[in-house]
Structure 1
Amino acid sequence: MKRRLFRRCGNAPGALTPEDQAAVDDVRAMLAAVRDPEPWTPGHAQDIAVRVGPFIERAHPRPGDDHGTDVIAVALVHPDTGHAAAYLHGNQLGYTGKGWLRCETTAILGIWQPAYAMLTHAAADLLLPDDVGMPPAHYGVHVEARRSDNTGYTLLRLGPYTQTWLASRDADRLNTELAGKAATVVPGFTVTAKGAPFHVSDHESYVDPYEADVTALLADAVAGVNA
């Protein structure tokens, strides 16, 4: 799936072949896309073009986590995602192993356009580097208060956790703490804790779980709503 750029000698006689003309058109489209990118707007769930060193890569925002103005969560994907061969090629080059990443919005060039494809690692048949300049998006714990009709709100958000098992451990601790009183600790609601993606777009709404005991944080949150 390696793309071949235009290599015709500058003084070659005769008209361009259709293949050469197509290559020239691709380069012109790429230059135009880089010069005048389509602006990205938070919250629209559109694939974006992000800078990874000297390359440009296609990134897919995590659903519901692309509305932040300073950082969002994305996964790097093969530029030809949607085509049958793209997954295999992307797996070979390391696209499928990065997981969700914290992407600063300053690294976003704009909405993804096919013309950017020739500027990717995949086009050069190169492995993605171990360090793509974006740390993992990590995980969180959400403590939710729900009515019987499933309406309600999030009482407490904890995170980020660097590993899923750490988030699961704290969710289990909180549910153990709530055992026998989940339906009474907040009148009219059932309170439960569960592991969830760390929503980097809402990072300011999270409490650092390493700064205090999570059961104490839960007690403070409950006291706040019952005050």
Structure 2
Amino acid sequence: MAEVTVCDHPLVQHKLTLLREKHRSTANFRQVLRELSLLLAYEVTRDLPVELVEIETPLKAMQAPMLAGKKLVFASILRAGNGLVDGMLDLVPSARVAHVGIYRDHDTLEARRYFFKAPADLGERIVIVVDPMLATGNSATDAIDALKAEGAVDLRFLCLLAAPEGVARLSAAHPDVPIFTAAIDHRLNENGYIEPGLGDAGDRLYGTK
């Protein structure tokens, strides 16, 4: 099984509750999602490698920690993943961004990939795959399949909400990829949506309900 981290910080849980509310406006949903993604980015980057470098403060020289290695890659599962990436880039503006276009077949719930674009040197970077919902786990699994095929070896998956079924599916396919989420909800319904959940994150983010 993949390691699963549920971010239970009070601010994370408060903002997740705001996103769940049915009548929240598109503009406010978008703003709160951006704020929440920044908070989640702190958790998923907690153990990034650092190295000591020589700097000068206004008073004296010192050895101080800075991030080591090549810059991160945020891999967005289109389209809703972009809502998380926008906030994460506020925290790490130098990160590279990959895009994996996937839609879900509403009859079979299987993932259908239609687009892939990523930095060429994925194998030399930490790759954080982002999608608001880990529901069936099919889209996340397919996206990670594609990234590994292009050389990625150090991956993490970040979402707002997960269903037990999605955690099990992704863990079985990629036990080496840790999962970070704000909550694991009760179950999937017959249409493959997380319950109680927050609805379709992409529709709520872009006003396409």
The structure that has the greater radius of gyration is: 1
Q: Which structure is higher in strand share?
A: 2
Q: Give the TM-score normalised by structure 1.
A: 0.21
